[in-house]
Structure 1
Amino acid sequence: MHIMKVDREINKKRESSRFPSLLISLAVLLAITCSLPSASSALIGIKEGDPPKEILLEDLSGTIHDVTDLFGRKPVILVFWELTTDKSFLNYSLDELRFLNDFYKKYHDGAGLEIFGIYTPEGEKDIPAGESAAVRNLIKVNKIKFPVLIDRGFKLFREYGVIALPSTIMVGKTGKIKFIYPSFPIAAQPLFSEQIRNLVGAAGVAHKDKGLKIKGPDSHSIRLYHYSLQMYKKGLLEQALSPLMKSLALDPDFAWAHNLMGIIMWKRGNYEDAVKELDKAIKLDKENAPAHFNYGLLLFENEKFDEAEKHFNLSIALNNSMAEAHYVLGLLYKKTGRPDDALKELKTALALFEKRKITRVIFDSSAFHRISTLYTLSELYAKNGDDKQAMDLLQKAAQVALGLENVTDKEHLYRSRDLMIYE
């Protein structure tokens, strides 16, 4: 998510009010720049119906677990997971460990369900004491009951062809793999619940939990969609396109798949098809906030401001915590001469972005000190009442920070293709 172009044609009468507004805008821009989730890919190397590969691993205490001995005798779930780094505000690994823990407590004693969390270390060599302590603490704090094994040297990671974390493999009592799934988005939890109940023979049991009800596109279409999504996050657009097309072929009314297709079409520079796909997503699911936001971006990009404003407001009405929608709506208000409304939306966006866990921006040391000098000078000029000079220096600092110092086309400041929301 990057930055939008800044309109320099501001009324001179508002010169004194520009400095605080610029401070807010700059903070929002940098927050957006740093709030990207980490990328991941998908599970490859094995397929459903295959026998699982041999697993003989130690846990954190050094106890060896022969998981292979359980295949063909008990239902087994394997989840490859990682410690989430500070580059991500999403923690699918921890989400899945907690999710599976509930099923383990429910079905381990009665149905014999075995679950193994296969931890993928940060490096191939020996695990540092600090990393081991972090894993132990995570298990303790979250009260994970099933065994956590350590895949030292990435042996199983390579043998199973895992390139997405978390990744889940479910092995039935027949000793064959029944279910494979990369990642663990919230939308897939009902599918996981259904598969686990099938695995332990409890598929016919009624559940009161509304969240476990299965509805929407069929499971294979969902899996293809999430496979495509992981490819997209990795930046592999062409690899994402094929499974996404298959997902839509299985279920043409899958709104989320149309939303992602619209994003990919826009990334490829195909505006007409992007509009078509996002419009389809909205018609299929009028409460799809990301689709409304993405459609609004396309309209905004083509200066259809009234229509864009409508869709931004709809996305905010559906999800008021969507920082990106407040941000771009603020820029729209600024562009259309409504500075008070712009200030309100940008303040809201900044507050929401600041709640996210972000990675520190690292500059070249000489650039960092130059930015620091410009910023300090702007503070001194502002303190002396020279807001115009202070603002000019602050703008200069922002340009250096964003790599725009020698860029004349300020369109580079805003990249709608990177700002679109896929889930």
Structure 2
Amino acid sequence: MTTATATPLAPDRPAHRDANVLRWLGAYTTSMVGDGIYFVALSWAAARGGSPGQAGLVLAVGAFPRAALMLGGGVVADRFGPRRVVIGSDAVRCAVILTAAALLLAASPGIWLLAVLALVFGAVDALFLPSVGALPPRLTAPGQLGRVQGMRGLAQRIATVVAAPLGGLAVAFGGPAAAFGAAGVLFALSLVLLVAVRLRPLPADDGAVRGGSALRELGDGLRYIRGHRVLAPLTLVAAVTELGFAGPANIGLVLLADERGWGASGMGWIIAGFGSGAGLAALLLAVRGRIPRAGAVQAAGIVAGAAALAGIGFAPSVAVATAAGLCVGLCTGLGGALIAALTQTFTDPAYLGRVTSVVTLFTMGVAPLCYPVVGAAIGVWGLEPVYAACAVLSAAGGVIGLCSGPLRRAELPR
């Protein structure tokens, strides 16, 4: 599995001073920036190469393989090792996107190329995301997992801020081909850094899931989650929270800014408030490294974030909505990072990929499917009732966590 690259690492070295963790963080950050540039280029090329309906289809088509294959990606991560899968995923993305850039330079293959590209990226993401979630426990000591999640959150914020302007500049100066090429270069850089990452050997890290079909291994993973006193309620918390949060935080903001007359700039301020709050939460966790009573704190943060989410829907001005967005980002950002750290802490190494795939399926695969439902509900009942209902659903996730004794008492390792 991964024994060829597993070497003993310094157990007490803080994650932010560990060159191995920093190499992984650099690889993750460059890959995220590459993802963002790819999406900008794909959006622009689809809009210029087809009708509005075809462009929308291209942007949506990647979500289907991501959702359909996500659980299988967890099985692959556990069977072959997350490092191999992450490296393979980046290699495939690099090759595919550079090929697409070359084709766009040579000719105009049309909307079909973009649809195939989106499908391939969706399938690769289904392998990449569970493996990324399974890597941190193999990079550093258990007591550093909280700090690693905070550093990862900061990397996500940086990538979000940097990727769109870089993608826009690349498209402006060289068209979609240049933007695809820039993304390919970033994936290549990420690949080089990942190859240099060393892994910490974990118990039961060899041959733990070998033997038996992939379907049986997936069933074993689902049964493992269902029977675990902490992971079962924690997975439910993540799923319920995201189902309530995703719609209002995405399509809801668009409709809110339009109805209130705040325009795109108003929506931008609210999103900036959310991003700032999430960045502060990630920074807090990166600096402190460990939050006492993590199980209770993540649940309470979700409830508080849900209340602030409702506040956005009832806000009388952009300033109030931005302040509410800041609170949402701070509370839910902290809660989400602690959910990830607790998942990695309490999951047996043999099941890390499969457990991560289940959580990721709800947060990045199923939750976006509620966008049209939330949009239709706002059209029928209005903004305030829908925001309130979604906030109640999101808060229910936190309540589930508070009502579960094992999860409420769960702690991160020292």
Q: Quick check: TM above 0.5?
A: no
Higher relative contact order, chain-length normalized (CA < 8 Å, sep 6+): 2
More helix by share: 2
Which structure has the highest strand share of the two? 1
Task: Report the structure number with the largest CA radius of gyration.
Answer: 1
TM range (shorter): under 0.3
